[in-house]
Structure 1
Amino acid sequence: MPYINLDAIDLKILSALQADGRLTNNELADQVGLSPSPCLRRVRRLERDGFIRTYRAVLDRDSVGLGLTVFVEIKVEKHSRDNAKALQEALAALPEVVSCHMVSGTADFIAEIVVTNLKAYERLLTEKLLTLPMIGDIRSNFALTPVKSDAALPLTHLKRGAGGREAAVGDCD
């Protein structure tokens, strides 16, 4: 697994950047106990190795007028690799779909959709989703109150270094 190359400082860097992606390199270096040059080298390595995929602002949905979140369970009409791939591509192309997962259970996919209001969801449902020929069934679940959203990834499982030993602050690449 790729994370075996992470040490305690790498984990501190990842945690700090998840909490605040706008930290300057100097601020980050102070937080993790490094000087700026080694800190920047580590950040660049974490980016290059794919641990850090991108940086972005997390917007408040209500403030930007996207007050309705719908979790949509979708069943594929005829199970085939082509239908599943076509549905994945169609869902990925919709900007209203902010998250989508192929799942096991009663549905084949669960999509998180954000729209302005119920009327906008009705339009998306009738004009886009229900026109897709590979869809057999759709069930909509409307979010009432967000309990936890846009959380940082938990990194506690990465506290062990290579070979199953505890990662220590002195372990460096």
Structure 2
Amino acid sequence: MDSIDKKILMLLQQDAKQNTKEIAEKVGLSVSPTFERIKKLEQKKYIKNYVALLDAEKIGKSISVYCQVTLAVHSRELIDDFKQHILVLPEITGCFHVSGNYDFLLKVAVNDMNEYQKFVIDKLSVIKGISNVQSSFVMEEIKNDFAYNL
């Protein structure tokens, strides 16, 4: 990956709706080589997907919660079982296996406290092997950037 590829990636991170012609003008290439570079970046999986970032409040997901989950035992079977349960819960928008005082960090998006309470009681706490769940509620979003600095 060269500096032009990096510039293309930065431009796409800023606005993936830009067409190839617009990107080509910004990187100083013609349309065809720019198109080929983008296709190559996609094939090599530098670009995983193109998505629309939604306004959480407008779609009824105004509460963001970070859940720190601790498992009772760190067996491969229990960890794999936990991961499989997490993958199907639509309230969870992110799950990270971490080191430190807890085992997993979950990012949860819900409409209100009642919905979060139901999520914890009916969906999260029934997963086998969880010994502790601590919740941190986002009071204000200062920065939530999905772009990487290249």
Q: TM-score, normalised by structure 1?
A: 0.85
Match of 1:69 in 2: 64
Matched residues, percent identical?
Answer: 33
The unaligned stretches of length 5 or more in structure 2 are: none
| Amino acid across the alignment from 1:31 | K
Say which SS state the counterpart of residue 128 (structure 1) adopts: helix
Say which of 10, 24, 28 aligns to 2:23: 28
Query: Whose relative contact order is higher, 1 or 2, with alpha carbons under 8 Å and at least 6 apart?
Result: 1
| Amino acid across the alignment from 2:39 | R
| Bigger mean CA deviation after superposition, 9-18 or 74-83 | 74-83
| Amino acid across the alignment from 2:76 | R
Say which of 68, 76, 79 aligns to 1:81: 76
Q: Is the 8 A contact 1:58 1:150 kept in 2?
A: no
The unaligned stretches of length 5 or more in structure 1 are: 1-5, 156-173
CA distance in structure 2 between the aligned counterparts of 1:68 and 1:49, rounded to whole angstroms: 36
Compute the displacement of 1:90 (Å).
Answer: 1.1
Match of 1:47 in 2: 42
CA distance in structure 2 between the aligned counterparts of 1:116 and 1:33, rounded to whole angstroms: 45
Q: TM-score, normalised by structure 2?
A: 0.98
Compute the displacement of 1:154 (Å).
Answer: 1.6
Match of 2:125 in 1: 130
| Amino acid across the alignment from 1:135 | I
Match of 2:143 in 1: 148
- Count of residues in Structure 1 that have an aligned counterpart in Structure 2: 150
Deviations 1:85-106 (Å, cap 9, x if unpaired)? 1111111211111111000011
Q: Is the 8 A contact 1:97 1:113 kept in 2?
A: yes
